[in-house]
Amino acid sequence: MVELPEFLKFYQQSAEKAWKQHAICDLEFSGPTYQIQVKDPRTHKKEWAFLQLDEKGEIKDCFCSCMGEEENPGCLHLSVAFLGVYGRYREPLHQRFESSWWNQLCQGCAMQVGYSSDRMMQVGASHYEGVTGGEVWISLELLSQEAQTRWHQILDAPLGETEETSLKFSNLTQEELSQWRSGQPSLGLSYVLSFWNDLAKWLMEMQELEIPYTLVFHEASKKVPKGITIDFKYVKIFFKLSEAILEDAIPALNTVASPLKMFPLPEQAIDQIIFDDQKGIMHIQIDEKGAWVKKNGIHFHEWIYVPSEGFYALAPIHLFPAKKLQGEQIALALDTHFVFIKSRLKGCRLEALPRPLAYTFQFDPSWNLHVEAYLFRPGDLSMEGSWIFGDWVFLKKEGFFRIEGKFFKEIKRVVTKNEINEFVSQYRVWLNTQAGFEVHLTGKETRLSYILSEDNRLYFFKSVEGEKGVIRGYDFGAWVYLEGEGFYPKAEARTLVAAYPGLSISAEQLPLFIRMNQDELQLIPRFFSDSCPIVRCGLEIGVNEAQEIVVSPKYEYAKGYQPADVQVFEGFSFVEGEGFFELTGERFLPEKYRFPFVVEPKRQAEFFSEEWENVKKYSWTIDPKLAFPRYQHLVLLNVSKKEIFGRGWYGLRLAYQTDKGMIDIHTFWKALKKNQRFLFTEAGCFDLLEKRYEWLRAFGKKRMDLRSHRLLMTSLELIRLQIMEEVHLSHLDQASLNVLQELLYFHPQEFPDLPQFKCQLRSYQQVGVLWLWFLYQHHLSGFICDDMGLGKTHQAMALMAMVLQSFSKQKNKLKAKFLIICPTSVIYHWQEKMAIFLPDVKVFTFYGSGRRLEDFGKQYEVMLTSYGVWRNEQKVLNQIPFAVAFFDEVQIAKNHTSQIYASLVHVNADMRVGLTGTPIENHLRELKALFDIIVPTYMPNDASFREFFIKPIEIQGNGERKRLLSRFVKPFIIRRKKEDVLLDLPEKTEEISHCTLAEDQKRLYVEVLERSREKILQVLHDRTVAIPYMHIFALLASLKQICNHPAVFLKTPVEYQDHSSGKWELFKELLNEARESSQKVVVFSQYLGMLDIFELYLQQNEIGYATIRGSTVDRRAPIKRFSQDPKCEVFIGSLRAAGLGIDLTAASVVIHYDRWWNAARENQATDRVHRMGQTRGVQVFKLVTLGTVEERIDQLISQKGQLLEEVVGVDEQQVLKQFNREELIQLLQFIDKG
pLDDT recorded at residue 410: 85
746 versus 534: which is more confidently predicted?
A: 534
Confidence class of residue 710 from pLDDT cuts 50, 70 and 90?
very high
d(CA 1084, CA 1147): 13
pLDDT at 468 over 60: no
Domain residue ranges of the chain, discontinuous segments joined by + = 6-91, 99-259, 261-347, 350-416, 436-512, 534-623, 627-744, 763-981, 988-1230
d(CA 445, CA 293): 79
pLDDT at 1173 over 60: yes
pLDDT recorded at residue 7: 87
pLDDT digits (tens, 9 = 90+) for 110-169: 999 998 888 899 999 999 999 998 899 999 999 999 999 999 999 887 766 777 667 777
- 1210 φ/ψ sector (left φ>0, alpha ψ -120 to 50, else beta): beta
Percentage of the chain lying above the pLDDT 90 cut = 44
pTM of structure = 0.47
As a whole number, mean pLDDT of residues 968-975 equals 91
pLDDT recorded at residue 291: 64
1193 versus 753: which is more confidently predicted?
A: 753
pLDDT at 104 over 50: yes
From the list 934, 896, 890, the residue with the least C-alpha distance to 1140 is: 890
pLDDT recorded at residue 1209: 39
Confidence class of residue 429 from pLDDT cuts 50, 70 and 90?
confident
Return the DSSP state at 3.
Answer: P
d(CA 1226, CA 684): 55
pLDDT at 444 over 90: no
Looking at 926-995, which runs of residues are DSSP E strands?
973-974, 988-995
Looking at 984-1114, which runs of residues are DSSP E strands?
988-995, 1081-1085, 1104-1108
CATH topology of domain 988-1230: Rossmann fold (3.40.50)
Instruction: Write down the mean pLDDT value for the chain.
Output: 87
Q: What per-residue string of b and e applies to 658-685 under the rule 16 or more CB within 10 Å gives b?
A: bebebbbbbbbbebbeeebbbbbbebbb
pLDDT recorded at residue 498: 82
781 versus 220: which is more confidently predicted?
A: 781
As a whole number, mean pLDDT of residues 566-577 equals 88
Residue 946: HSE in the Cβ half-sphere, 13 Å Cα cutoff: 3
pLDDT recorded at residue 1233: 46
Whether 822 and 913 have beta carbons less than 8 Å apart is answered as no
Indicate the range of 573-582, 752-761, 778-787, 1194-1203 predicted with least confidence: 1194-1203
pLDDT recorded at residue 1212: 34
Sheet holding 213-220, edge to edge: 120-124, 127-132, 135-142, 235-240, 223-232, 213-220
pLDDT recorded at residue 1116: 81
pLDDT recorded at residue 493: 43
pLDDT recorded at residue 483: 84
As a whole number, mean pLDDT of residues 707-723 equals 90
Identical fold for domains 763-981 and 988-1230, yes or no, is yes
As a whole number, mean pLDDT of residues 1029-1037 equals 85
pLDDT at 318 over 90: no
As a whole number, mean pLDDT of residues 490-501 equals 66
Indicate the range of 32-41, 288-297, 411-420, 514-523 predicted with least confidence: 288-297
Q: What is the dihedral of CA 101, 102, 104, 105, to 10 degrees?
A: 110
pLDDT digits (tens, 9 = 90+) for 1117-1152: 898 899 899 999 999 988 776 656 678 889 999 999
Between the alpha carbon of residue 906 and those of residues 249, 899, 902, the distances in Å are 59, 12, 8
As a whole number, mean pLDDT of residues 1007-1014 equals 87
pLDDT recorded at residue 370: 95
pLDDT digits (tens, 9 = 90+) for 1049-1086: 999 999 999 999 999 998 998 998 888 888 999 999 98
pLDDT at 704 over 80: yes
pLDDT at 984 over 80: no
As a whole number, mean pLDDT of residues 830-856 equals 91
pLDDT at 408 over 50: yes
Confidence class of residue 81 from pLDDT cuts 50, 70 and 90?
very high
Q: What is the dihedral of CA 938, 942, 947, 951, to 10 degrees?
A: 100
Looking at 241-279, which runs of residues are DSSP E strands?
261-263, 270-276
pLDDT recorded at residue 1158: 67
Strands 345-346 and 349-356: unpaired
1047 sits in which H/E element: helix 1046-1049
Please, which residues bridge with residue 261 across strands? 310
pLDDT recorded at residue 287: 78
pLDDT recorded at residue 917: 77
As a whole number, mean pLDDT of residues 887-910 equals 93
pLDDT digits (tens, 9 = 90+) for 844-874: 999 988 888 888 877 899 999 999 999 999 9
pLDDT at 808 over 90: no
pLDDT recorded at residue 36: 95
As a whole number, mean pLDDT of residues 724-742 equals 86
Segment of 880-894, 958-972, 1161-1175 carrying the highest mean pLDDT: 880-894
d(CA 328, CA 320): 12
From the list 228, 222, 504, the residue with the least C-alpha distance to 368 is: 504
d(CA 310, CA 303): 10
Superfamily of domain 763-981: Tandem AAA-ATPase domain (3.40.50.10810)
Query: End-to-end CA distance of the chain, in Å?
Result: 106
Confidence class of residue 238 from pLDDT cuts 50, 70 and 90?
very high
Q: How far is CA 601 from the centre of its chain?
A: 27
pLDDT at 469 over 60: no
